[in-house]
Amino acid sequence: MAFQYKMVQIPPAINVRQKDVKGQEAAVYLEGVVNEYVRQGWEFQRVDSIGVKEQPGCLAALFGARTIDYIYYVITFRRSV
């Protein structure tokens, strides 16, 4: 059986007002995203973190700019084709 895969990048942090913090914000956010794609026929597979290094340009490096590390989060879905 062949599958088609879809990767959905999600924000590394979820903005919540202090008075609304209940301790489950990340789970609620992920649940909403996953359920939306499931309704579209996708099957949830996993959540991964992916590191990306941004190298400074030549001129910026000359002035001391350093490599910046970013972490991105991606949800993987699949469906039969």
Report the C-alpha gap between 27 and 34 in whole angstroms: 10
Q: Which comes out higher in pLDDT, residue 23 or 81?
A: 81
Tell me what pLDDT residue 15 has: 75
Contact 68, 57 (CB under 8 A): no
pLDDT in tens, 5-39: 999 999 887 777 766 667 778 888 899 999 999 99
Contact 31, 21 (CB under 8 A): no
